Chain A
Amino acid sequence: MLRYALTRGALLIAGLLVSSVVIFLTLRVLPGDVAQLIAGTQASPETVEALRESLGLNQPLIVQYLGWIGGVFRGDLGTSQLSGTSVSAELLEKSRVTVPLGLIAMTIALLIAVPFGIISALLRGRAGGTAMSVGAQAIAAVPVIWAGMILVVVFAHWLGWLPAQGFPRSGWAIPAKAFESLLLPALTIGLVEGAMLMRFVRSATLQAAGEDFVRTAAAKGLTRRQALVQHGIPAVGLSIVTVLGLQVAGIIVGSVVIEQLFTLPGIGRMLVADVGTRDLIKVQSELLVLTGFVLVIGFVVDLVHHAIDPRQREAA
Chain B
Amino acid sequence: MHSFTTARRSARLAAIALLAAGALVLTACAGSSPEPTPTATGKSDPDATLTVGLVLEPTNLDIRHTSGAALEQILVDNIYEGLVTRTQDNEITDRLASAHEISPDGLTYTFTLNEGITFHDGAALTSADVVASYQTVKSDATVQGNAEFAGVTAITAPDPTTVVITLAQPEQNFLFTLTGPAGLVFKKGDTTDLKTAENGTGPFVLKRWAKGSAITFDRFGEYWGDAATVGEVVFQYIPDFTAGVNAALDGSVDVLTAVDPNLVSQLEDSGEFRITTGRTTDKATLAFNNAKAPLNDVKVREALRLAIDHEALVEAVGAGQTQFGPIPELDPGYEDLSDLVPYDPAKAKALLKEAGHEKLDLTLTIPSFYGTTVAQVLISDFAKVGVSLEVNRVEFATWLEDVYTNHDYELSFVLHVEPRDFGNWANPDYYFNYDNAEVQKLYAQSQAEIDPDKSADLLAKAARIVSEDHAADWLYTGETLTALIPGVSGFPEDSINSRINLAGVTKTAD
Write out the residue numbers on chain B whose beta carbons fall within 8 Å of the beta carbon of A273. Answer: 212
B147 lies within 8 A of chain A by Cβ: yes
Q: How far is the CB of B43 from chain A (nearest CB, A)?
A: 26
Interchain CA distance A41-B60 in the complex, whole Å: 18
Interchain CA distance A248-B385 in the complex, whole Å: 53
Interface residues of B in 419-467 (CB under 8 A from A): 421
Which A residue's beta carbon lies closest to that of B368? A276
Interchain CA distance A157-B144 in the complex, whole Å: 45
Interchain CA distance A22-B461 in the complex, whole Å: 55
Best-surrounded residue of B193, B212, B399 (most CB of chain A within 10 A): B212
Could you give, for residues 22-50 of chain A, a 1 whenever the CB lies within 8 Å of some chain B CB and a 0 otherwise? 00000000111110111111111011011
Checking A82, A146, A169, A263 against B239 with a beta-carbon cut-off of 8 angstroms, the contacting residue is A263
B363 lies within 8 A of chain A by Cβ: no
Interface residues of A in 51-75 (CB under 8 A from B): 51, 54
B312 lies within 8 A of chain A by Cβ: no
Q: How far is the CB of B498 from chain A (nearest CB, A)?
A: 13
The reply to whether B400 and A41 form a contact with Cβ atoms under 8 Å apart is: yes
A278 lies within 8 A of chain B by Cβ: yes
Checking A33, A50, A163 against B397 with a beta-carbon cut-off of 8 angstroms, the contacting residue is A33
The reply to whether B397 and A42 form a contact with Cβ atoms under 8 Å apart is: no
The reply to whether A90 and B10 form a contact with Cβ atoms under 8 Å apart is: no
B124 lies within 8 A of chain A by Cβ: no
Q: How far is the CB of A154 from chain B (nearest CB, A)?
A: 11
A269 lies within 8 A of chain B by Cβ: yes
Could you give, for residues 83-115 of chain B, a 1 whenever the CB lies within 8 Å of some chain A CB and a 0 otherwise? 000000000000000000000000000000000
Could you give, for residues 142-182 of chain A, a 1 whenever the CB lies within 8 Å of some chain B CB and a 0 otherwise? 00011001001100110000011111010100000000000
The reply to whether A36 and B404 form a contact with Cβ atoms under 8 Å apart is: yes
Known: A32-B401, A36-B405. A43 touches B67 (CB 8 A): yes
The reply to whether B141 and A83 form a contact with Cβ atoms under 8 Å apart is: no
Known: A84-B196, A165-B247. A145 touches B12 (CB 8 A): yes
A277 lies within 8 A of chain B by Cβ: yes
Q: How far is the CB of A126 from chain B (nearest CB, A)?
A: 37
Q: Total interface residues on B, using CB and 8 Å?
A: 54
B153 lies within 8 A of chain A by Cβ: no
The reply to whether B16 and A33 form a contact with Cβ atoms under 8 Å apart is: no
Which A residue's beta carbon lies closest to that of B421? A42
B213 lies within 8 A of chain A by Cβ: yes
The reply to whether A33 and B401 form a contact with Cβ atoms under 8 Å apart is: yes
Which A residue's beta carbon lies closest to that of B146? A47
Q: How far is the CB of A83 from chain B (nearest CB, A)?
A: 4
The reply to whether A166 and B67 form a contact with Cβ atoms under 8 Å apart is: no
Which B residue's beta carbon lies closest to that of A39? B67
Which B residue's beta carbon lies closest to that of A272? B10
Interchain CA distance A164-B146 in the complex, whole Å: 44
Interchain CA distance A16-B12 in the complex, whole Å: 31
The reply to whether B398 and A166 form a contact with Cβ atoms under 8 Å apart is: no
Interchain CA distance A209-B146 in the complex, whole Å: 76
Which A residue's beta carbon lies closest to that of B397? A32
The reply to whether B212 and A276 form a contact with Cβ atoms under 8 Å apart is: no
Write out the residue numbers on chain B whose beta carbons fall within 8 Å of the beta carbon of A263. Answer: 238-240, 243
Write out the residue numbers on chain B whose beta carbons fall within 8 Å of the beta carbon of A287. Answer: none
Interchain CA distance A167-B252 in the complex, whole Å: 11
Write out the residue numbers on chain B whose beta carbons fall within 8 Å of the beta carbon of A49. Answer: 141
Which A residue's beta carbon lies closest to that of B250? A163
The reply to whether A83 and B60 form a contact with Cβ atoms under 8 Å apart is: yes
B59 lies within 8 A of chain A by Cβ: yes
Interface residues of A in 222-275 (CB under 8 A from B): 257, 260-261, 263, 265-266, 269-270, 273
Checking B60, B67, B397 against A276 with a beta-carbon cut-off of 8 angstroms, the contacting residue is B397
The reply to whether A42 and B243 form a contact with Cβ atoms under 8 Å apart is: no
Checking A33, A153, A169 against B214 with a beta-carbon cut-off of 8 angstroms, the contacting residue is A169
Known: A37-B396, A47-B147, A82-B59. A169 touches B213 (CB 8 A): yes
The reply to whether B193 and A84 form a contact with Cβ atoms under 8 Å apart is: yes
Write out the residue numbers on chain B whose beta carbons fall within 8 Å of the beta carbon of A34. Answer: 397
Interchain CA distance A182-B282 in the complex, whole Å: 38
The reply to whether A167 and B213 form a contact with Cβ atoms under 8 Å apart is: yes
Best-surrounded residue of B65, B400, B405 (most CB of chain A within 10 A): B400
| Interface footprint category on A | 35 or more
Could you give, for residues 137-174 of chain B, a 1 whenever the CB lies within 8 Å of some chain A CB and a 0 otherwise? 00011101011000000000000000000000000000
Known: A83-B59, A83-B195, A163-B250. A157 touches B23 (CB 8 A): yes
Could you give, for residues 199-241 of chain B, a 1 whenever the CB lies within 8 Å of some chain A CB and a 0 otherwise? 0000000000011111010000000000000000010101110
Q: How many A-B residue pairs have CB under 8 A?
A: 145
Write out the residue numbers on chain B whose beta carbons fall within 8 Å of the beta carbon of A37. Answer: 59, 396-397, 400
Q: How far is the CB of B296 from chain A (nearest CB, A)?
A: 23
Which A residue's beta carbon lies closest to that of B395? A276
Write out the residue numbers on chain B whose beta carbons fall within 8 Å of the beta carbon of A90. Answer: 211
The reply to whether A38 and B67 form a contact with Cβ atoms under 8 Å apart is: yes
Checking A41, A93, A261 against B404 with a beta-carbon cut-off of 8 angstroms, the contacting residue is A41
The reply to whether B401 and A31 form a contact with Cβ atoms under 8 Å apart is: yes
Known: A31-B401, A165-B243, A269-B212. A40 touches B68 (CB 8 A): yes
Q: How far is the CB of B187 from chain A (nearest CB, A)?
A: 19
B2 lies within 8 A of chain A by Cβ: yes
A124 lies within 8 A of chain B by Cβ: no
Write out the residue numbers on chain B whose beta carbons fall within 8 Å of the beta carbon of A40. Answer: 1-2, 66-68, 144
B331 lies within 8 A of chain A by Cβ: no
B13 lies within 8 A of chain A by Cβ: yes
Write out the residue numbers on chain B whose beta carbons fall within 8 Å of the beta carbon of A276. Answer: 395-397
B62 lies within 8 A of chain A by Cβ: yes
Write out the residue numbers on chain A whose beta carbons fall within 8 Å of the beta carbon of B402. Answer: 31
Write out the residue numbers on chain B whose beta carbons fall within 8 Å of the beta carbon of A94. Answer: 212
The reply to whether B397 and A83 form a contact with Cβ atoms under 8 Å apart is: no
The reply to whether A46 and B141 form a contact with Cβ atoms under 8 Å apart is: yes
Checking A33, A43, A167, A277 against B59 with a beta-carbon cut-off of 8 angstroms, the contacting residue is A277
Interchain CA distance A32-B195 in the complex, whole Å: 22
Write out the residue numbers on chain A whose beta carbons fall within 8 Å of the beta carbon of B247. Answer: 165-166
The reply to whether B65 and A38 form a contact with Cβ atoms under 8 Å apart is: yes
The reply to whether A51 and B400 form a contact with Cβ atoms under 8 Å apart is: no
The reply to whether A32 and B398 form a contact with Cβ atoms under 8 Å apart is: yes
Write out the residue numbers on chain B whose beta carbons fall within 8 Å of the beta carbon of A145. Answer: 12
Write out the residue numbers on chain A whose beta carbons fall within 8 Å of the beta carbon of B193. Answer: 84
B15 lies within 8 A of chain A by Cβ: yes
Best-surrounded residue of A30, A39, A152 (most CB of chain B within 10 A): A39
Write out the residue numbers on chain A whose beta carbons fall within 8 Å of the beta carbon of B240. Answer: 165, 260, 263
Write out the residue numbers on chain A whose beta carbons fall within 8 Å of the beta carbon of B16. Answer: 149, 152, 261
Q: How far is the CB of A1 from chain B (nearest CB, A)?
A: 44
Write out the residue numbers on chain B whose beta carbons fall within 8 Å of the beta carbon of A38. Answer: 59, 65-67
Interchain CA distance A28-B229 in the complex, whole Å: 49
Write out the residue numbers on chain B whose beta carbons fall within 8 Å of the beta carbon of A85. Answer: 195-196, 211
Best-surrounded residue of A47, A50, A90, A270 (most CB of chain B within 10 A): A47
A-B residue pairs, 6 tightest by C-beta:
A40-B67, A32-B397, A265-B212, A84-B195, A31-B401, A32-B401
Given A261-B13, A263-B240, A263-B243, 20 additional A-B pairs, CB 8 A: A31-B397, A32-B400, A33-B401, A36-B405, A37-B397, A38-B59, A42-B1, A42-B147, A42-B418, A47-B146, A51-B142, A54-B142, A84-B193, A85-B196, A153-B19, A166-B213, A166-B252, A167-B213, A169-B213, A276-B397
5 contacting pairs across A/B (C-beta < 8 A)? A42-B418, A149-B19, A153-B19, A156-B246, A166-B247
List chain A positions with a Cβ less than 8 A from chain B. Answer: 30-34, 36-44, 46-47, 49-51, 54, 82-85, 90, 93-94, 145-146, 149, 152-153, 156-157, 163-167, 169, 171, 257, 260-261, 263, 265-266, 269-270, 273, 276-279
